[in-house]
Amino acid sequence: MKLLVCGGAGFIGSNFVRQRVRDHGDEVVVLDKMTYAGRRENLQDLEVELVVGAIEDADAVEAAVGQGFDAVVNFAAETHVDRSISGPEAFVETNCRGTMVLLEAARRHDVARYVQISTDEVYGSIDEGSFTEESPLQPSSPYSATKTGGDLIVSSYFHTYGLETVICRGSNNYGPYQYPEKLIPLMVLNAFHGDKLPVYGDGMQVRNWLYVEDFGRGISHVLSHGAPGEVYNIGGPEECPNIDVVKRIIALTGNDESLIEYVTDRPGHDRRYSLGSEKVRALGWEAQVHFAEGLEKTVQWYRDNEWWWAPIRSGEYREYYERHYGRALG
Ligand code: NAD
Ligand code: DAU
């Protein structure tokens, strides 16, 4: 296929592009604004064209989509919940308005398939059981509210204009190339350096962990076999409280639990996510990587790839980290 992958220089997007090029032989063009989270290094081993541009920039989008593609896959987003709490504007601009601009170009150019990458966070928090695709949308954070807005705009383009859209709602991803503002790489890199491990609140919030390659395979199933206008949940095989994730990382890096520091909780923190994935399983997808195996592989990847994270830790990330956690943790 010939694919336009928006946000393909970020964590999940670049892993997806790698899968598509290597396993499917696709021709891929990446459109990416190259925010702090978009990195050329994430694609440097691949032969893909990288177009630097924002999905909310109608001219850039028109030029890119106008090249003609079999499908557009949209990963482009502001993605970090904590950053959305301190500055929601960019989230509205990219996750809502950008999605609309991209859909508009896809519609004008009769793109045969539009895939929106979304999140389990649109459903909010669940104490027991699991979310299905029919669960009410009850986002809690500015991040998840803007992702919900994006999803609703996508659905409107299916119902109103007949654009063949599908939406993939993934649970918490982890794996290579994840920017270290997120829980797992943050804890891994802090543990490597013997730095404190900042656990929000009581650490008993539960996340449904999904290895990034499993998410990519799920997206490919939906891209090829999903029904137009439908939503597909793609959830990880295991749920785990944050504190257990941190303790596993401590064990894998040969540290001890004195590194754990309980810090002020995230405002509006969702307690538990749990995603039912029966619908995508019916398309033939199954998660292949268990959490223990995926976490070990992930820690090893960060151990082997200091060239990738060393420049990040000394740049914008350092300022963000000090602002968010305070110098005391550094
Ligand atoms: P990321 O922050 O690592 O990457 C986001 C990418 O989008 C970056 O390359 C960035 O430069 C690009 N981008 C940001 N704003 C843009 C804009 N206006 N125009 C074009 N490009 C822009 O994020 P990620 O974790 O790889 O997430 C990718 C997608 O998957 C997002 O839509 C996110 O909501 C969704 N998602 C993430 C997870 C997760 O656990 N990380 C889980 C489910 C769904
Ligand atoms: O569920 C899917 C979502 O997962 C995606 O849509 C988001 O883009 C992605 O960022 C992620 O959101 P979370 O808020 O769940 O991920 P994060 O890695 O920020 O946090 C995971 C859990 O760990 C959460 O309960 C907050 C907690 N946490 C996080 C950080 C960064 C800590 O306890 N300490 C920390 O320092």
CB 124 within 8 A of CB 109: no
- 2-173+211-234: what CATH class? alpha beta
CB 153 within 8 A of CB 95: no
Domain edges within the chain: 2-173+211-234, 176-207+238-264+271-285+292-314
HEC profile for 187-235? HHHHHHHCCCEEEECCCCCEEEEEEHHHHHHHHHHHHHHCCCCCEEEEC
pLDDT of 314 = 87
CA-CA distance, 168 to 233, in Å (whole number)? Answer: 6
Tell me, using a 6 A CB cutoff, whether residue 182 lines ligand 2: yes
Give tens-digit pLDDT for 224-245.
999 999 999 999 999 999 999 9
Nearest to 117 by CA among 206, 266, 13: 13
CA-CA distance, 33 to 53, in Å (whole number)? Answer: 5
Ligand of minimum distance to the alpha carbon of 150: 1
Tell me, using a 6 A CB cutoff, whether residue 13 lines ligand 1: yes
Residues contacting 178, CB < 8 A, separation 6+: 11, 184, 185, 212, 298
- Atom 35 of ligand 2, nearest CA residue: 183
Please give the sequence-ordered ranges of beta strands (E in DSSP) within the chain, or none if there are none. 2-6, 27-32, 49-52, 71-74, 114-119, 165-170, 173-174, 197-200, 206-211, 231-234, 238-241, 260-263
Q: Which of ligand 2's atoms lies nearest the C-alpha of 270?
A: 25
Average pLDDT of the chain is 97
Determine the residue of 4, 5, 6, 12 to mutate for testing ligand 1's pocket, defined as the one with the most ligand atoms within 8 A of the Cβ atom.
12
Q: pLDDT class for 262, splitting at 50, 70, 90? A: very high
Q: Which of ligand 2's atoms lies nearest the C-alpha of 208?
A: 1
Give tens-digit pLDDT for 65-83.
999 999 999 999 999 999 9
pLDDT of 315 = 83
CA-CA distance, 182 to 145, in Å (whole number)? Answer: 19
Q: Which residue has the tokens 């630097």?
A: 52
Give tens-digit pLDDT for 136-192.
999 999 999 999 999 999 999 999 999 999 999 999 999 999 999 999 999 999 999
CA 119 / ligand 1 centre spacing (Å): 11
Determine the residue of 11, 89, 234 to mutate for testing ligand 1's pocket, defined as the one with the most ligand atoms within 8 A of the Cβ atom.
11
CA 271 / ligand 2 centre spacing (Å): 11
CA 264 / ligand 2 centre spacing (Å): 14
Q: What is the pLDDT averaged over residues 197-215? A: 98
CA-CA distance, 12 to 78, in Å (whole number)? Answer: 13
Tell me, using a 6 A CB cutoff, whether residue 172 lines ligand 1: yes
How many Cβ atoms sit within 10 Å of the Cβ of residue 238?
A: 17
Please give the sequence-ordered ranges of beta strands (E in DSSP) within 78-152, or none if there are none. 114-119
Ligand of minimum distance to the alpha carbon of 52: 1
CB 256 within 8 A of CB 194: no
Residues contacting 18, CB < 8 A, separation 6+: 45, 46
Catalogue the active-site residues. Answer: 120-121, 143
Give tens-digit pLDDT for 266-302.
999 999 999 999 999 999 999 999 999 999 999 999 9
State the amino acid at position 186 in one-letter form.
L
Q: Where does 30-94 have alpha helices with state H?
A: 58-65, 81-86, 89-91
Q: How far is CA 193 from the centre of its chain?
A: 26
CA-CA distance, 311 to 315, in Å (whole number)? Answer: 6
Nearest to 31 by CA among 48, 15, 11, 18: 48
Which CATH number is 176-207+238-264+271-285+292-314's, of 2.60.40.1170, 3.90.110.10, 3.90.25.10, 3.10.450.50?
Answer: 3.90.25.10
Q: Tell me how many degrees the CA angle 32-234-120 measures, rounded to the nearest 5.
A: 75
Ligand of minimum distance to the alpha carbon of 7: 1
Give tens-digit pLDDT for 47-62.
999 999 999 999 999 9
Tell me, using a 6 A CB cutoff, whether residue 185 lines ligand 1: no
pLDDT of 153 = 98
